[in-house]
């Protein structure tokens, strides 16, 4: 057993004793990330994922913002969030909420749809609505999620998850994600592309404004309008997403922080937990 400092121990503790997070990767679904969590005070900063974010509320209420709309969700609610969609989340009551989530990538989701239907799937799967109420499917998802780690047989758990994901897409899915670039102002797209290429570096607002051809104030407003996030928050989100990748392949926390542009491990930990709900140490141990 290795020793940790009090600072490390404190960072790793939930905000309140009643909060807990379980995170694991399921090898049967290409090491898909899975999470079960109870949050009472933790607030997710605006962030996005490279994967789908699919889940359901088991108890309590959450307040979430997506596509510029803030919605209250509770039992019976489904999260069907496409890759790249910016969202956040906060407890909707003093007692918080408990939910279950999975994060399948587009390739896995396509594979599941093809195997469930027996037909080749052409295009990119997507969901037209990200937050909705469907008690039947929410309950089915929660049951399938529980089977992933409750000792159910592989056949039973795989069949259950395949079936519910196929039903979700049949009821709420669409075939192709239309590239958002087509309707985005050129200047805002240039700013985003510049951040994509230099996210680990220090980027000044003036330099970013020059790239976009917009004034600094106009760029911030336009960026938020089209991406529902500020340029700085978008850069931080990219850093966290890259940090997840580096930690998955075994990169040390110190090297990860440096490679992603964070000042130090504490800086990485603060932003990582705000977007993932786990500390980097918890993420690596799962």
Three-class SS of residue 40?
coil
Q: Please say whether the beta carbons of 261 and 202 come within 8 A.
A: yes
Does pLDDT of 6 surpass 50?
A: no
Please work out, in degrees rounded to the nearest 5, the angle formed at the alpha carbon of residue 246 by the alpha carbons of 242 and 247. 115
Does pLDDT of 7 surpass 80?
A: no
Record the pTM: 0.73
Calpha distance 241→223 (Å, rounded): 19
- Could you give the domains of the chain? 6-174 (2.60.120.10), 181-285 (1.10.10.60)
pLDDT in tens, 140-180: 999 999 988 887 777 778 878 888 888 898 899 875 544 45
**Beta-bridge partners for 131:** 79
Q: Please say whether the beta carbons of 157 and 147 come within 8 A.
A: yes
pLDDT in tens, 247-283: 999 999 999 999 999 989 999 999 999 888 889 988 8
Does pLDDT of 34 surpass 90?
A: yes
Calpha distance 234→236 (Å, rounded): 5
Calpha distance 119→27 (Å, rounded): 24
């Amino acid at each position: 057993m290795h020793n940790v400092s009090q600072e490390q121990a404190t960072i790793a503790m939930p905000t309140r004793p009643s909060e807990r997070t379980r995170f694991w990767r399921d090898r049967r679904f290409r090491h898909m990330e899975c999470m079960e969590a109870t949050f009472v005070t933790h607030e997710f900063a605006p962030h996005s994922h490279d994967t789908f974010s699919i889940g359901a509320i088991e108890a309590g209420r959450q307040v979430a913002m997506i596509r510029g709309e803030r919605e209250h969700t509770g039992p019976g609610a489904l999260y069907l969030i496409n890759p790249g969609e910016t969202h956040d989340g906060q407890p909707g009551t003093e007692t918080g909420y408990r939910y279950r989530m999975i994060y399948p990538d587009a390739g896995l989701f396509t594979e599941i749809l093809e195997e469930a239907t027996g037909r080749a799937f052409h295009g990119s799967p997507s969901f037209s609505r990200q937050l909705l109420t469907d008690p039947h499917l929410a309950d089915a998802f929660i049951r399938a999620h529980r089977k992933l780690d409750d000792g159910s047989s592989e056949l039973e758990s795989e069949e259950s998850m395949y079936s519910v994901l196929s039903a979700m897409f049949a009821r709420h899915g669409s075939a192709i994600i239309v590239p958002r670039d087509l309707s985005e102002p050129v200047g805002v797209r240039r700013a985003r592309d510049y951040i994509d290429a230099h996210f680990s570096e220090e980027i000044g607002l003036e330099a970013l404004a020059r790239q976009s051809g917009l004034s600094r104030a106009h760029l911030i407003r336009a960026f938020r309008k089209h991406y529902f996030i500020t340029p700085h928050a978008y850069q931080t989100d990219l850093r966290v997403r890259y940090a997840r990748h580096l930690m998955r392949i075994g990169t040390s926390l110190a090297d990860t922080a440096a490679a992603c542009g964070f000042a130090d491990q504490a800086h990485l930990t603060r932003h990582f937990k705000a977007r993932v709900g786990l500390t980097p140490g918890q993420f690596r141990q799962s």
